Amino acid sequence: MDSYGDSSALAAAYLIAAFTWFIFAIIFYVLGSLFLMKIFEKAGVEGKWRAWVPFYNVMIFLKLGDLSPWLAFGFLLAWVPVLGWLVSIAMAVVMVLAAWRVGLKLQKSSPWVVLYIFLAIVWLGINAFDKSRWNPNIAPASWAGNGFLADRTVWQGIPVQPSAQAPAAGYGAPQGYQPPAAQGYAPPQPGYGQPAAPQAPAAPQAPTFQPPAAPPATPPAPPAPPAPPAANPDAPATGEQPPA
């Protein structure tokens, strides 16, 4: 009788503990998704629904932290009996690295990642609702160039971080994607907001000299002398003698 009562009480205690844990898990998941949604909005991620999808929101968080989102599948190996605890430690380090990079882009110094290690939900809440702005133009991570941790994926709706390289062919890369070819430096063209190149002054034009007109070869003829006056008809004729 007593053993049956003890078993019932123990079972009831387990049920209460499991129900309490389930309630707290839901609360933490809702708060975590809400905080991730706000952080994703600051980062320019399109679609609020992405923050509420389990496992997928972790992949986006890794991608924003300059890490390959495919590393999130390492959490599935945490259930392996032999390597489970090693994988769990490795994934915890990966999440801390992602939080460090995301914090830098949210104008947080490196020591802020300590808060994420001990109280991740508080770290998410502060970065979600403070006045910090997303700035991806920070010094690239040491693993960004190449390696197993580097992010090389391009997903529609998620901004490509400057440290991410061109995506490799495979799932997650857009069809027909070609990385842009490197181009040489081209000097800026003068236009709006840029001073135009100084122009050389125009050469002065030589004065045009017109020589005087040459005098005519033959001088003009002098005017003709006036004609003698005509004879008076009333005058006597020549040789006639006046009357006596």
Question: Which is nearest to 66 in space by CA: 94, 85, 93, 87?
Answer: 94
| Range among 71-85, 113-127, 192-206 rated most confident | 113-127
pLDDT band (50, 70, 90) for residue 200? low
C-alpha 66: how far from its chain's center? 17
- Please tell me the predicted confidence (pLDDT) of residue 167: 42
Domain locations in the chain as residue ranges: 2-129
The contacts found for 183-188 with CB under 8 angstroms, 24 or more apart, are none
Question: Which is nearest to 129 in space by CA: 46, 26, 37, 25?
Answer: 37
- Please tell me the predicted confidence (pLDDT) of residue 4: 58
- Please tell me the predicted confidence (pLDDT) of residue 217: 57
Task: Answer for the pair 69, 50: CB distance below 8 angstroms, yes or no.
Answer: no
Checking if the pLDDT of 211 tops 90, the result is no
Q: How far is CA 169 from CA 143, 160, 178, 235, in A?
A: 20, 16, 10, 140
**Helices in the chain by DSSP H: which ranges?**
2-43, 56-64, 84-105, 113-118, 120-129
Residues 6+ apart with CB under 8 A from 181: none
Sign of the alpha-carbon dihedral angle for 40, 45, 49, 51: negative
Reduce the DSSP state of residue 200 to 3 states and report it: coil
Q: pLDDT tens digit string along 48-69?
A: 999 999 999 999 999 999 999 9
The answer, as to whether pTM is greater than 0.85, is no
CB atoms within 10 A of CB 42: 18
- First CA to last CA across the chain, in angstroms? 214
- Concatenate the DSSP letters of all residues of 67-135 into one string: S-GGGGGGGGGGG-TTTHHHHHHHHHHHHHHHHHHHHHHTT--GGGHHHHHH-HHHHHHHHHHSS----
d(CA 168, CA 146): 12
Q: What's the token pair of residue 102? A: 């995301």
Residue labelled with tokens 């125009």: 202
Q: pLDDT tens digit string along 117-172?
A: 999 999 999 999 999 999 999 998 888 877 789 998 999 999 988 876 444 444 34
d(CA 241, CA 244): 9
- Please tell me the predicted confidence (pLDDT) of residue 78: 80
